[in-house]
Structure 1
Amino acid sequence: MKAFTHALPLLGGLAVLWAAPVATQAAADVNTSLEQRVEQLDQELRVLRRQLEIDREERDKQALADQQKGVKVTHNGRSVKLASNDGSFEFKPGGRVQVDYAHYDADKQQLGDGTAIRRARLSAEGKVFRVWDYKVEYEFSSSNASDSAARGIRDAYLRYTGFAPLTITVGNFKEPFSFEQVSSDSALTFLERSLIDVFAPSRHIGAAVQTSGANWSLAGGVFGERPEDDAAAEGDEGYDVTARGTWAPFWDTGRVLHLGAAVRRLDPDDSTNELRWRARPESNITDVRLVDTGVLTGTDHVDSYGLEAAGEWGPWSVQSEYIGTKVNRKSTSDVDLNGWYVLTSWFITGESRPYKASEGVFDRVTPLGIVGQGGIGAWELALRLSNLDLNDGPLVGGEQRNLTVGLNWHLTPNVKLQANYIKVLDLDRPGNAADGDEPSAYTVRAQVDF
């Protein structure tokens, strides 16, 4: 028993020596298992993080796609525009209504007092896929039955802007000729354009290129006839080549100097070669033309040129234009016709006429105080002297000189009331009943455009 007691310490030491390796191995196994678990958890965490990033990217892409599909509505104080959020598509409805009244103090011949819907138009314009612009406009009024262009298509064109600042336009639109003519009729200082508008081609079907810089513009094109013209009944239609350039040596809000020039070559259709120039007395509510060349037959071609000048200093502005037209005839002598006007305008309430250098025109006026919002609108006084000479040698179409006084009340950017007094100062048409006829006209207009 005593021997066993002495052996116990020895046995305990052996047990400890035997157990130590076993514990060490177990500890190592536990450490290895923990490292593997930590590594596994780290891998799972990285996978979760990547999945979260993918989900976030997908959500961002979807949000951007949803945003691009959306439509925003904006307005410029005059009209409303709908556009996609990414700017690729735009749509803007528009139109205008002009209601006129005229009273005449007749002299030698009756002109006929009356009322008329001068213009009643609806339009739609915009763009698709960023670089394709379009516009369609239709005139519903036919206040002058003898005017072949009274009712029907106005603008109807497609324009490519992908070569900016160069644009290419195809369709029915205004030819680049004459300061007054290329200006919108909603922005005119007087109810009607001046007498020399008879030389301006207005709208025809064709193709044109246009470009502009900070203070200049240049446009040119080739054109055929109007959409309503019947080429089948006339033979091959004629063609028109026009170009116009403008330069503003300086321009800013209320401070403008404009210079411009335009050229035109007209070859009429090959079946009749008939052309005619005649003008109403700067009032559209009459079908009487005080000057008229009659039909000129045997016309080979017509060459025209125009010179423009305008300036603005705060509320004061001046504008002038001259157009010369030479009618080259086949079997008779050529004819030289011409006309000019000069006008001045003063805003009593201090506004200025906005100038668009990219087109070389004055734009609509925005009153400093809008009627209906506490303002009195913009009040404008204007004066114009115009002259049209259709006399040359044996041709006695008449020479007419007019003086027009205007008062405009711009209630809002798109509502305007106008009053004009027109006096025929001189009418030189020897051998015609209209010779010496010097009537007066009092005309008013209510206009809204959008």
Structure 2
Amino acid sequence: MNRLSRTALAAAVVLGLGSGIAAAADTQDAELRSLLRQQSALIEQQAAQIQALGARLAALENAAAEAADPPTDPARAQVAAAIADTRQDDLAILQAQVAQLAAKGGGGDGTISWRRGGPELRSGDGRFTFHPRGRVLVDFTSTHGSSFGPRNITGTDLASGRLGAEGQIGPLGYKIDADFAGNAVRLKDTYVSWDTRVIGRPAEFYFGNKLKDRSLDGATSSMSTPFMERNAVASVGAMQSGYYGLGTTMKLFGNSWHATVSVTGDDIGNADDASDTIAYLARAHWNPVKGKDGFVHLGGWYWHEELGDDVTSINKTSPIALGWNGQVRVSASSIANVTGNHAGGLELGGVYRNFWAFAEHTVRTIDSSSAGSIDHKATSAYVGWLLTGEKPGFSSRSGVWGTTRVLRPVSEGGIGAFELAARYDKYDFTDAARGGEGEAWTFGVNWYLNNWSRLMVNLVHWKTDNRVGNYQGPDSGNTLGARMQVAF
């Protein structure tokens, strides 16, 4: 009886959580709400079954207790014994049914859990999962000190507002993210994945639209980078087809290394009146030193694009004073009659306890039938220190930034985690006849309230020297930015 009571109580708790989840999901996508309601109804039905079985079990136990004092008449005693045996069989059957319901998720632990700030629904055997996803990144930026008045602007921006879901169906996985920033809806990570083994090593295959594995910051989600904006290498070394690509990606993992190869076309939403630009990408990293206190990271990448017929010129302009202020950029000048496009990069750095440091360099070469081969170059170096003792959120497995695990979350009465960071970026487009150059120093303070929310403050001191556009000649200024971020 005690085991049944605990099981029924657990089912009631799970039912309450399921109802709360369904109510919270009313603000999300209609399909997510429908699935959560189905899960809640299933849990409610299973809880009702457990309650009904409990009532029958209680009646049998009470009857068994009453039969404990056997009658004196031998005939009546024999009948009572037979009835008791039957009830004992029924009791065993009922207990087995209750255990089976609990194993299927009717009242067992883990049916609904909270991961990265959001609910995750999981089947009793763990083979099926469903995790709603979302993020909100709200920015404020203000620029001062430029000798060009239009560059000194202040404003707010929704850097990212996403809603989606991810999950597992055995070895198959799926993910879909819809971004609502900029008064437009764009699909970002939207793919089907498959976990398997290749040459005895863990491997992941992705089919669909995915963030490309290129450079440290370029391959990292914007909600995980240590600064409000990606670095110069991520910007200058980007492909003509963009940060995302629709195609196939394979990742292979070892004990202290990983390798990626991919073939992708244009991002989702490309025009259908010309062939895609096809990108071939490879990246690998290796940890020659790896221990409990940290690791050393060595990495490199290369990509080549076969440009579509609709790409006749390339005009690269990189933001340097945080993303919202589009007036402060470094211009490479337009290159006409392009025939080829490729780039490569190197990565060096590591983590030691609560410190981290990384450096990157890239060269992008654009071939033109009229201007020859033009090189775009960029260098980034950055360091950080987690004052509260946390380990940096950098994945030695994948070679990208991930989640910083907060030791004392604010939501649990702690102070959160505090991080100081500094970065130097160099942009060099001077190989072109009218290409510009620029550099920036960024100083940042990050306050991680818990594992899925943080407050960021960045101060950027920048310099530009453009030879085309409205803001030609040497110029400098300061941009202050702040971001409130919640991601689940």
Q: TM-score range by the shorter chain?
A: 0.7 to 0.9
- Paired position in structure 2 for 1:132: 172
Cα distance, 1:61 vs structure 2: 8.9
- Paired position in structure 1 for 2:69: none
Paired with 1:317 and 1:369, the residues of 2 have a C-alpha distance of 20
Secondary structure in 1 matching 2:223: helix
Distance change (3 Å), C-alpha of 1:67 and 1:421: same
Paired with 1:393 and 1:372, the residues of 2 have a C-alpha distance of 52
1:227-306 equivalences in 2 (<5 Å): 227-232=268-273, 235-306=274-345
- Paired position in structure 2 for 1:209: 250
Paired with 2:98 and 2:410, the residues of 1 have a C-alpha distance of 46
- Paired position in structure 1 for 2:104: 68
TM-score normalised according to structure 1 size: 0.81
Paired with 1:371 and 1:96, the residues of 2 have a C-alpha distance of 19
Contact persistence 1:195–1:282 (CA under 8 A) = no
Paired with 1:291 and 1:405, the residues of 2 have a C-alpha distance of 20
Distance change (3 Å), C-alpha of 1:242 and 1:125: same
Distance change (3 Å), C-alpha of 1:65 and 1:374: closer
Paired with 1:286 and 1:377, the residues of 2 have a C-alpha distance of 30
Equivalent position amino acid for 2:413 in 1: G
Larger gyration radius, structure 1 or structure 2: 1
Cα distance, 1:69 vs structure 2: 5.8
Distance change (3 Å), C-alpha of 1:175 and 1:57: farther
Paired with 1:259 and 1:57, the residues of 2 have a C-alpha distance of 61
1:187-198 equivalences in 2 (<5 Å): 187-198=224-235
Percent same amino acid among aligned pairs? 24
Cα distance, 1:341 vs structure 2: 0.4
Cα distance, 1:294 vs structure 2: 3.7
Q: 2:372 aligns with which of 324, 328, 333?
A: 333
Equivalent position amino acid for 1:178 in 2: S
Cα distance, 1:447 vs structure 2: 0.8
Distance change (3 Å), C-alpha of 1:204 and 1:253: same
Report how many residues are paired: 391
Contact persistence 1:217–1:357 (CA under 8 A) = no
Equivalent position amino acid for 1:287 in 2: G
Q: CA offsets, 1:22-67, max 9 Å, x none? A: xxxxxxxxxxxxxxxxxxxxxxxxxx9xxx8xx9899869954762
1:405-420 equivalences in 2 (<5 Å): 405-420=443-458
Q: CA offsets, 1:202-226, max 9 Å, x none? A: 1111111111022111111101001
- Paired position in structure 1 for 2:384: 345
1:48-447 equivalences in 2 (<5 Å): 63-64=99-100, 67-68=103-104, 70=106, 72-76=111-115, 78-109=117-148, 110-111=150-151, 112-128=153-169, 130-142=170-182, 151-163=185-197, 165-198=202-235, 199-200=237-238, 201-232=242-273, 235-394=274-433, 396-424=434-462, 426-430=463-467, 433-447=471-485
Of 279-288 and 378-387, more deviation after overlay is shown by 279-288
Paired with 1:188 and 1:84, the residues of 2 have a C-alpha distance of 33
Q: CA offsets, 1:215-257, max 9 Å, x none? A: 111111101001122131xx21210011110111233454121
Contact persistence 1:253–1:352 (CA under 8 A) = no
Paired with 1:66 and 1:378, the residues of 2 have a C-alpha distance of 39
Of 306-315 and 56-65, more deviation after overlay is shown by 56-65
Cα distance, 1:311 vs structure 2: 1.2
Equivalent position amino acid for 1:159 in 2: S
Paired with 1:74 and 1:241, the residues of 2 have a C-alpha distance of 39
Contact persistence 1:258–1:310 (CA under 8 A) = yes
Equivalent position amino acid for 1:176 in 2: D
Cα distance, 1:421 vs structure 2: 0.6
Distance change (3 Å), C-alpha of 1:448 and 1:254: farther
Q: CA offsets, 1:298-336, max 9 Å, x none? A: 211111001111211122110111111111122331101
Equivalent position amino acid for 1:363 in 2: G
Paired with 2:243 and 2:355, the residues of 1 have a C-alpha distance of 28
Secondary structure in 2 matching 1:436: strand
Contact persistence 1:194–1:282 (CA under 8 A) = no
Q: CA offsets, 1:99-130, max 9 Å, x none? A: 111111141322221011111111200011x0
Equivalent position amino acid for 2:166 in 1: E
Unmatched 5+ residue regions in structure 1?
1-47, 144-149
Cα distance, 1:435 vs structure 2: 1.7
Contact persistence 1:108–1:434 (CA under 8 A) = no
Contact persistence 1:113–1:285 (CA under 8 A) = no
TM-score normalised according to structure 2 size: 0.75
Q: CA offsets, 1:171-222, max 9 Å, x none? A: 0001121110111212211111112322224111111111102211111110
Cα distance, 1:156 vs structure 2: 0.6
Cα distance, 1:282 vs structure 2: 3.9
Secondary structure in 2 matching 1:392: coil
1:11-50 equivalences in 2 (<5 Å): none
Secondary structure in 1 matching 2:233: helix
- Paired position in structure 2 for 1:12: none
CA RMSD of aligned residues (A): 2.7
Distance change (3 Å), C-alpha of 1:284 and 1:141: same
Contact persistence 2:331–2:466 (CA under 8 A) = no
